[in-house]
Amino acid sequence: MTAAVTRRENRLAGDGWFILVLAIFTSALTGPGQTIGVSVFIDHLVDDLSLSREAVSFAYMIGTLTGATLLPWVGGWVDRRGVRRAQMIIGTCFALALINMSFVNGIVWLAIGFTGIRLFGQGSLSLISTVTVSITFTRNRGTALGLFSVFSNALITMVPVGLAAIIAWVGWRSAWLVAAVIVVGTVVPIAVFGLRSLPTGTHGNGADAPASTGFSVDRPTAMRTRGFWILVAVSSSAGMLSTALNFHQIDLLGDAGLSDNAAAAMFIPQVIGSTLAGFGFGWIADRVGHRYLPAVSMALLFTAHVLAALAAPGLAVFIYAVSLGAAGGAVRTVTALLLPEWFGTAHLGSIQGAATLFNVGASALGPVALAALEAGIGSYPPAIMILSTIPAAALLFSLTQPNAPTANSPEALAPTDLSN
């Protein structure tokens, strides 16, 4: 090992937890491109652009799916350029996309605008911040990713409040401009000054890593393993079904006997569940192991569906909300942990981009699937129980991996015949 490499690794070891904090803030600043942030603009877009809510929803779906198709390419580019340079460029592009949103005028421009903020914010910048944590930590990666998931999502939940206040102050068009200034004034300096100790690409040892093993597989190899498709099944199931339940939550819980305000308040227990699962699953992964964590996360999602079908005012609906939040927090932590654990970090951006493509696509389809089933059957409970077969199937599939591959046993990553 050269003296230069040793100095870089020593410097990275000292900066690890500081880099985690910076990654959390970077992830939180994707908020204006997340569904939760965009939601506060929807009524203004409907009214001022003279569009129907269905038209705005369709433009959002097109923008989400279009942005998602580019994420595998973005991930490969991050691998080649490194997270520091990628964050500088993507942060600037995200700010420009937010500026563009302040000028939208019509359905086509709106779809293009949604594509920009979903690609550069919700997709690319989220990918970069997660990869940053993954390549910074090795032995404590589960704990670090658990903390990252908990605190970044907690901060993202505050974004709609801030955006709503800015809209009330300067109007919705200017609010996009304020968001752009905040993003470029924070995300880019974090990359320039805060990520200087990171390697040029997404390889090298983490902040607490032992000597390098050189373990890594590329995206085509990863996509030929059962492990990759297990993580896709788990993350896509959570993305599709959590989005569906949240999108229709007011109507769903209204049918169960809750008022609109009470139904909206059930987002708070979800944060509690997500926090507990994020901490808990990260701690378990570092100290006990991660072999069965994908299956447990699907068990939580299946439980949330059963409770949603049985929801009623009182303790039952509270437990449902906590379970749904726990499933989301568990899946985010598990997938972020196992991608580098199973496939290494040299091609992590490319592999994670491919997995995210399936996740985002499933998320876009979830609300439509639940609405169609509810309309066809006539009520939510049986529709929800039909959809519960998806996490049940993903749970069974996650148990088919005989030996989870790790960086310490790269031979376990030989391509698996999925036809068996």
3-state secondary structure of 197: coil
pLDDT value at residue 404: 43
Q: Please check whether residues 80 and 224 belong to one and the same domain.
A: no
Q: Which domain holds residue 401?
A: 219-413
Sole residue written with tokens 């005989």:
402
Q: Please check whether residues 141 and 94 belong to one and the same domain.
A: yes
Across 78-92, average pLDDT: 91
Q: Please check whether residues 336 and 233 belong to one and the same domain.
A: yes
Q: Give 6-11 contacts, CB < 8 A, sequence gap 24+.
A: 8/197, 8/199, 8/204, 9/204, 9/205, 9/209, 11/197
Q: What is the dihedral of CA 380, 372, 43, 186, to 10 degrees?
A: 90
pLDDT class of 191 with cuts at 50, 70, 90: very high
Mean pLDDT of the chain: 82
Q: Tell me whether residue 167 is in a domain.
A: yes
Q: Please check whether residues 226 and 369 belong to one and the same domain.
A: yes
Q: Please check whether residues 93 and 52 belong to one and the same domain.
A: yes
Residue 58 per-residue DSSP state: H
Q: Which of 213, 216, 214, 205 is nearest to 10 (CA)?
A: 205
Q: Please check whether residues 184 and 245 belong to one and the same domain.
A: no
pLDDT for 204-241, tens place per residue? 444 444 333 456 777 888 888 888 999 999 999 998 89
Q: Tell me whether residue 46 is in a domain.
A: yes
Q: Please check whether residues 230 and 127 belong to one and the same domain.
A: no
Q: What is the dihedral of CA 10, 11, 12, 13, to 10 degrees?
A: 50
Q: Final residue of a domain: which of 194, 228, 246?
A: 194
Q: Which whole-number Å values give the CA distances from 81 to 90, 128, 349, in the listed order?
A: 12, 11, 10
Whether 322 and 292 have beta carbons less than 8 Å apart is answered as no
Q: Please check whether residues 157 and 245 belong to one and the same domain.
A: no
How distant is the alpha carbon of residue 258 from its chain centre?
A: 29
CATH number at residue 55: 1.20.1250.20
pLDDT value at residue 357: 84
pLDDT class of 385 with cuts at 50, 70, 90: very high
Q: Please check whether residues 38 and 100 belong to one and the same domain.
A: yes
What's the number of domains the chain is made of? Answer: 2
Q: Is the pTM of this model over 0.85?
A: no
Whether 332 and 323 have beta carbons less than 8 Å apart is answered as no
Q: Tell me whether residue 100 is in a domain.
A: yes
CA separation for the pair 49, 102 (Å, rounded):
12
Out of 2-11, 71-80, 260-269, least confident range: 2-11
- Angle, CA 285 vertex, CA 387 and CA 130 arms, to 5°: 75
Alpha helices in 201-259 (DSSP H): 219-222, 226-247, 249-255
Q: Which of 144, 157, 150, 155 is nearest to 186 (CA)?
A: 155
Predicted confidence (pLDDT) at residue 296 exceeds the cutoff of 60: yes
pLDDT value at residue 417: 38
Q: Please check whether residues 327 and 363 belong to one and the same domain.
A: yes
Q: Please check whether residues 250 and 388 belong to one and the same domain.
A: yes
Q: Tell me whether residue 205 is in a domain.
A: no
Q: Tell me whether residue 45 is in a domain.
A: yes
Q: Please check whether residues 164 and 47 belong to one and the same domain.
A: yes
pLDDT class of 412 with cuts at 50, 70, 90: very low
pLDDT value at residue 403: 46
